[in-house]
Every structure is written in C-alpha cells, then in structure tokens.
Structure 1
C-alpha cells in the first residue's frame, strides 16, 4: 500500500486532522516531516519525523524517501514537481492535485510571482482555507486513497 508523506512545516492543523482520520480509516502509513517537533495522535499508522532546520531540508527528506504511488501533501510546488518525477502523487492543502499536465504551468506562475515580489510588487498571500477547501482536500485524498487501494 502507498504511504502518505506530509510536508508538515506549513501544513494547516485542520488539514493534518483530515489526514490523521484518513490514515487510520484506510490503515495507511503516514509520516509528517518537519524541522520542529510535532505532536501526532496515538496511532500505529501515524508518525512524525523531525529533520534539521534549514532551507528545503524537510523537502529533501521527503524526496529521498518517497516511493512510486505514495501521496505527498504539500503546498510547495518545486517539491510536488520532484515527487511527481519519482512517480508519486501530490496534493496541496486546498485539495488540488499536482499532475504532469499542470506542474510546469504552476512552476512558471510561481517563478513569475517571485519575480514580481522581488521587483517590489505587493502580490499578497493565499486566502485562508475555507470550508469548501477543506472538503475538497478531504474528497481528493479519499478518492486517491481509494483508487490506489484498488490498484495495488
């Protein structure tokens, strides 16, 4: 069975709670990777991995350990691109799947926005997670777990 990897440094608590429930319900090994200590619920399917502080250290650890058909939860587009290249699946906390068809466009938009911010343009940040974002995430995760369980 596929495993779930969570880029946990910036993952919202409400999304982690959805992941915990899905991991227990589907008996899927789930690892939250962060550069600080994390508290996870008592479960034989959920564990936390603390890595050293530093730029992309958690991302690099996920890429090193991820296997084809694993699921990675991240808002980090470069990380999503790397795990897709390894045959894994990637979902952002709003429930949008990163795919081979959309990742290049998302990387280009990310780079464009970085350039805009560097030139002094105020681009603002993402809006807070809405109820529909949480529902979309839960549905996308459940759908992918169900699909993977049937094929593996």
Structure 2
C-alpha cells in the first residue's frame, strides 16, 4: 500500500482523511505552503515517520515555499505508483494520474484517466470566460453528505471494505 498525500490548501476533509489512514494503516504526508499551520492536524502521539509507525500509520508534514502550485509540485516530486492524493485541484489530479498514482477530490470523486482531459478542458474554458469578464458557477456548499461520500470512497481506495 502506498502513502496518502493531502493537499492541505483549503482542504475541508483533512481530519477525515487522517482518520481513514489511521484505520487503513497508511502513512500520510500533509502538504502545504509556509503560510499554513500544517502541524495543527497532527496529534501529539502520532508517529512522525515510517520507522516509528504504529500499525503502518504515521503522519508527516511537507512545507513548500509560497508561490503558485509550490505544494502541488512538491507532492508530485515525491509520488510513487500506489500513492493516493486528496486534492481539490484538477491540475494536480492530472499530474497525479500521470505519475501512476490515484487522486480523490474532497467531495469523494475519484479522478480517472478516462475523464481527466475533459475535466481540464472544462476548467480551461471556464477560466477563459472569467478572464473575459464573465461569470461561472462556483461550487455548491460543502455538505455532510459530501464528507460521507469522501470517506466512503477513500476507504475503498485504501482497501478498508
């Protein structure tokens, strides 16, 4: 089993992802830039590296420099096939899939190589509209159902069923 990376940039399911990783016995790397307090997600008794893991679970932080996509690139540099990444960023999800790893959105959507190109196309078209002064529909409010769907699908990806 690979590791679980969490793109902590505005991630509403970090706590839930850590809970699933604990149950699955998977190591976790929480990634973000220097403006985020990533350590707030780590419990005092959590093992901090694979060597001191309890039942396979450990958690560490990966602090990237500030700047656009710096945490995304820091994650991608470390990915191995079998790893899973939690992200809201379709661009990062595409890079993850390209590295042979898996990606899941915070609402539980498991990204696929079959659909990632169309996802990227839609994102680019919406960006064109916004640059031209138009408006696009933003995401719906995050709900408890979204959180439940995320947990269920992450459990499936990490083999807890």
Q: Give TM-score, length-normalised by structure 2.
A: 0.86
**SS at 2:149 equivalent:** helix
Q: Does 1:85 align with 2:93?
A: no
Match of 1:104 among 88, 92, 117: 117
Deviating beyond 3 angstroms after TM superposition, the runs of 4 or more aligned structure 1 residues are: none
Alignment of 1:15-54 (within 5 A): 15-35=13-33, 36-38=36-38, 39-42=40-43, 43-44=46-47, 45-54=58-67
Cα displacement (A) at 1:23: 1.3
Give the gaps of 5 or more residues in structure 1.
none
Q: Normalized per residue, which structure has more helix? A: 1
Which residue number corresponds to residue 5 of structure 1? 5
Q: Does 1:136 align with 2:129?
A: no
**SS at 2:6 equivalent:** strand
Q: Give TM-score, length-normalised by structure 1.
A: 0.91
Give the gaps of 5 or more residues in structure 2.
48-57
**SS at 2:60 equivalent:** strand
Which residue number corresponds to residue 63 of structure 1? 76
Cα displacement (A) at 1:69: 1.1
**In structure 2, C-alpha distance between the alignment counterparts of 1:69 and 1:139, rounded to whole Å:** 18
Superposed CA offset, 1:93-122 (max 9, x none): 000011111100100000010011111112
Query: Aligned-pair RMSD on alpha carbons?
Result: 1.4
